[in-house]
Amino acid sequence: MRFELDLAEKVKSLARRRGADIVGIANVERWEHAPLKLSPQGLLPEARSVIVIGGHVPDSCLEVGGPPPWSEPGPAMAMGIAEYIAAQSAFWVSKFLEDEGYATFFVPPTSAWRYRPYKDIEEPWAPDLSHMHAAVAAGLGEFAWNCNFLSYEYGPRVRLMSIVTAAPLKADPLYSGPPLCDLCMECRKHCPSGALSTETEGLVEVKIEDRVFKYLKKNKWRCGASDHFLIDVRKEWPEKIDADTVLEMEEKYGQYTWECSCYKSCMPPHLRADDDRYHVYRRKKEFQPTADHPLRAQMVSERLINMAFADGMDLIAFLSKEDLRAAGTTLEDFLPGAENAILLGIHYPGSVEGSSASAGERFSYFSKETVGTESAALDGALYQIAFTEQKLVKYLEDRGWAALSDSDLDPKSLLAPAGLDNKPGYSYMVSITDAPLSPIARVEIPSQDGVPERNSRAATDVGVQALACGEGSLKAVLQPSPRAMRNVPVNVTEVVGKKATEFGAELFGVSGVERLNDLAGSLEQEMLRDGYFTAMDKGPMHGKADVHIDHSPLDVKRPDSYLDNPRSVIVCGIHPTNANLDRALKEPSEPVAPYAYSQMQTLIELRYLAFKLVCYLEQFGYRSFATCDLFGQASYVYNNRPFWGGTTGLYPDATANSLPAVAAGLGDMGWHGVAITPEYGIRQRFIAIVTEAPLDQSTLYHGPPLCRQCGECVRACPVTALPSESSVSIQLEDKTLQWATLDPLRCDWAKRYGLVGEAGPKYLGSQTDILPPEKITPDNLRQAMEQLDPLQKARISILPRCLQVCPTCPAAGE
């Protein structure tokens, strides 16, 4: 018998399929006692429900993360990956609800703080929406005394995302079990900054329905000095801490790293497990490992192999503690009771060398600027291997074992003991566990010309096909299949388009190389940027800017800048939810960061898509290269968090890949220089994939004009970077492309450097508001950036006003 899941169950099912570990739903009436500016209705007036999604941070990563005083997070950096998994789940749930006809607002992780009181918000450190309060309202748990959220399943070890929606979803009941916080005070005992014992002011009371929740009213500046401003807790701290003293300490001591001792040491009573080998309580697991069986190690190993290959890994190896001890590595130094290490490998598509960076290095590596210079699929590969590593670790934890990701063990040090070479174009990660696994087990996808033959195996069957052989070793016999796409009678373009859609693309088009070369030649004539320069603040996240000027020219790139013999360029697009743009800067909440985060998340999903599609093309012999900006002419927009960790929060602006999208038949150019499509207007982002595959070229768009020439973008620009008459005009075959002659330095002044309050910073409480002079020079730009609000400068987001006012989105009522 078939039955229809109600919408709430569909939402929860989708969230879990996309990686969520916990999901709860609240109705907006549970915020009736909250300030309107900090409520769901403040973000989306028609809101009916709030969905809260949580990603579990692997327990061992917190339980072994740096000994007291825990001034270094160590493996606890894994919480960043858990956050990205939760964000990916929330992104696709938001899009699902919008497709169902409900306005939906995607709320990012809480890094977009208003450090100062803002208008009628009297307290500092205000987010757009508190995910902890939302999680309690959604029935997922309670507050801890220390103000953290405690879930019934994982305690505080989750990263949260919220979705505000007009969908009338069935709310979950509030948590009604035994108290999750018993005032054990382990958090206060271990807090190195004294935030839970010094400068406190009683308790905060939060009323939700008939429940009253309480938590400590602490000095958030004392807590945030370490957790957000990264002040070294080993130094001498003053008795009173506020915004001024935090900046003074940062200038005096510099930045060290963050600690999360309350996060590590806190655990609800029913989940506590004492273990003398650890500094904090361990979390009791729902299941405990059963008695050993001769086949148990093989069974677990085969399951891990299945999971790894189903997630796109190209290599997995298991190495015992004895094997690694012989090679000079003691696993127990990283995880008490460790028995085995799990090595994962993934091939980077394109001519990009792999990296085996670990923990903090990897976070820095992810934040590299890759627009037009490195394959955007590179980041997709790194996301994939990081997500897979955490998936395997959670699988082992769920079955009662300890498992650690993000350790300081160098993955490359495991290659030789595993009998592997350090191949170019591969990246590796290593996990450590006390689970029984097959020793010196290795399963590797066969390669041809350095490219794994991923189409040679059914991922779900790999573990079943693995054969036990030799002295307990496990190997998979995988026969490569011929790269047959070039010789089969199918429409290759149609096949690739269907794959792109399967991987998440909502728009798909193809341009031939000749068409793009013609366009590049015209750009070289029309878009002369003599005198253009960029600046980078290389100073700390807070405090005075250290400005460096770069005069490197913006050369127009072509498809053969990426591959020697390109045949086609694929352009794929993904549409973020409308409400994040529609509601940006609007009363009562005046949010700006959620818009910027939705753009960032869309670009992450595109890179992830590009990785999968490039791998698909390469397995058939077509080398491919993905780029966020094919012609290399786009600039950047500032955001308070970059693609993955790091401190330089830049993402490519909306002009990136707009012209290639038009060349691929997806739409037309708007006066603001951004591509407009019939489906979504300006509300999508694009990725371009240069490939050797001979695909059918899409016809250019010849429908009704998509740009109304209304001039709204010109009038909305706070720095007058868009003229009303001067334009670039390029002939592309039988089509004329026309857009405004942008003043890139004036545009960058607002969007790239965050100097103009009306572009977004003032809505986060920034005190920076410097309009550009008539002529922008390196000297006056440097002087302006040195006046950036030292407190808020790293926590701002930008809303391109020209895009918000563009009346071209069918989904917005056209």
Q: What is the pLDDT of residue 109?
A: 77
Region 396-420: what's the mean pLDDT? 92
- For residue 362, pLDDT beyond 60: no
Q: Give the Cα separation of 477 and 10 in Å (integer).
A: 39
Q: What is the pLDDT of residue 643?
A: 45
pLDDT tens readout for residues 597-649 = 999 999 999 999 999 999 899 888 899 999 999 999 999 999 877 544 334 57
- Asked whether residue 579 is assigned to any structural domain, the reply reads yes
What does pLDDT average to over the chain? 87
Q: Which of 666, 687, 686 is nearest to 676 (CA)?
A: 666
Q: Which amino acid is at 632?
A: G
Q: Give the Cα separation of 350 and 343 in Å (integer).
A: 22
Question: Is the distance from CB of 625 to CB of 614 less than 8 angstroms?
Answer: yes
Q: What is the pLDDT of residue 66?
A: 64
- For residue 282, pLDDT beyond 60: yes
- For residue 458, pLDDT beyond 70: no
Q: Give the Cα separation of 510 and 32 in Å (integer).
A: 51
Residue 567 class from Cβ within 10 Å (0-12 exposed, 13-18 middle, 19+ buried)?
Answer: middle
At residue 668, φ and ψ (nearest 5 deg) are -135, 170
Task: Give the contacts of 775 (CB within 8 A, at least 6 positions apart).
Answer: none
pLDDT tens readout for residues 569-593 = 999 999 999 999 999 999 999 999 9
- Asked whether residue 348 is assigned to any structural domain, the reply reads yes
One domain for residues 270 and 347: no
- For residue 413, pLDDT beyond 70: yes
One domain for residues 641 and 671: yes
Q: What is the pLDDT of residue 454?
A: 55
**Dmax of the chain from CA atoms?**
79
Q: Give the Cα separation of 688 and 672 in Å (integer).
A: 20
- Asked which of 220, 247, 281 is the last residue of a domain, the reply is 281
- For residue 758, pLDDT beyond 90: yes
For residue 132, count other CB atoms closer than 10 A to its CB.
23
- Asked whether residue 456 is assigned to any structural domain, the reply reads yes
Task: Give the contacts of 147 (CB within 8 A, at least 6 positions apart).
Answer: 132, 204, 215, 216, 218
pLDDT tens readout for residues 190-203 = 898 999 999 999 99
Q: What is the pLDDT of residue 624?
A: 93
26 forms bridges with which residues in the sheet? Answer: 50
Q: How confident is the model at residue 68 (pLDDT cuts 50, 70, 90)?
A: low
- Asked whether residue 1 is assigned to any structural domain, the reply reads no
Region 532-555: what's the mean pLDDT? 91
pLDDT tens readout for residues 291-309 = 666 678 888 999 999 999 9
- pLDDT above 70 coverage of the chain, percent: 86
One domain for residues 536 and 565: yes
- Asked which of 258, 281, 304 is the last residue of a domain, the reply is 281
Q: Give the Cα separation of 728 and 129 in Å (integer).
A: 42
Q: What is the pLDDT of residue 358?
A: 34
Least confident of 234-248, 337-351, 433-447: 433-447
Region 299-326: what's the mean pLDDT? 92
One domain for residues 251 and 199: yes
Q: What is the pLDDT of residue 540?
A: 85
Question: Is the distance from CB of 406 to CB of 438 less than 8 angstroms?
Answer: no
Region 60-75: what's the mean pLDDT? 75
Q: Give the Cα separation of 449 and 291 in Å (integer).
A: 45
- Asked whether residue 513 is assigned to any structural domain, the reply reads yes
Q: Give the Cα separation of 751 and 721 in Å (integer).
A: 11
Q: Give the Cα separation of 39 and 410 in Å (integer).
A: 45
Q: How confident is the model at residue 484 (pLDDT cuts 50, 70, 90)?
A: very low
One domain for residues 223 and 257: yes
Q: Give the Cα separation of 57 and 143 in Å (integer).
A: 18
One domain for residues 130 and 257: yes
- Asked whether residue 3 is assigned to any structural domain, the reply reads no
Rg (CA), the chain: 27
Q: Which DSSP symbol is given to 454? A: G
- Asked which of 421, 440, 475 is the last residue of a domain, the reply is 475
Sign of the dihedral defined by the CA atoms of residues 667, 669, 675, 680, in that order: negative
Region 479-487: what's the mean pLDDT? 40
One domain for residues 220 and 257: yes
Q: Give the Cα separation of 182 and 268 in Å (integer).
A: 7
One domain for residues 325 and 434: yes
- For residue 445, pLDDT beyond 80: no
Q: Which of 656, 659, 654 is nearest to 701 (CA)?
A: 659
Q: Based on the structure, what is the number of domains in the chain?
A: 3
Residue 738 class from Cβ within 10 Å (0-12 exposed, 13-18 middle, 19+ buried)?
Answer: middle
Task: Give the contacts of 434 (CB within 8 A, at least 6 positions apart).
Answer: 335, 337, 338, 339, 340, 401, 402, 403
- Asked whether residue 133 is assigned to any structural domain, the reply reads yes
Q: What is the pLDDT of residue 230?
A: 86
Q: What is the pLDDT of residue 141?
A: 98
One domain for residues 580 and 714: yes
Q: What is the pLDDT of residue 442?
A: 65
Q: Give the Cα separation of 385 and 362 in Å (integer).
A: 12
- For residue 369, pLDDT beyond 60: no
One domain for residues 119 and 156: yes
Q: What is the pLDDT of residue 378?
A: 80
Region 249-274: what's the mean pLDDT? 88
Q: What is the pLDDT of residue 772?
A: 99
Domain encompassing residue 333: 296-475
Q: Give the Cα separation of 723 and 733 in Å (integer).
A: 26
One domain for residues 586 and 709: yes
> What secondary structure does DSSP assign to 687-713, as a single string?
EEEEESS-PPPPPPP-SS-S-----HH
Least confident of 152-166, 465-479, 667-681, 687-701: 465-479
One domain for residues 275 and 303: no
pTM (predicted TM-score): 0.92
- Asked whether residue 112 is assigned to any structural domain, the reply reads yes
Strand segments, DSSP code E, in 575-693 are 624-627, 636-638, 650-652, 668-669, 675-676, 685-691
Q: How far is CA 101 from CA 46, 104, 165, in A?
A: 13, 9, 10
Q: What is the pLDDT of residue 364?
A: 32
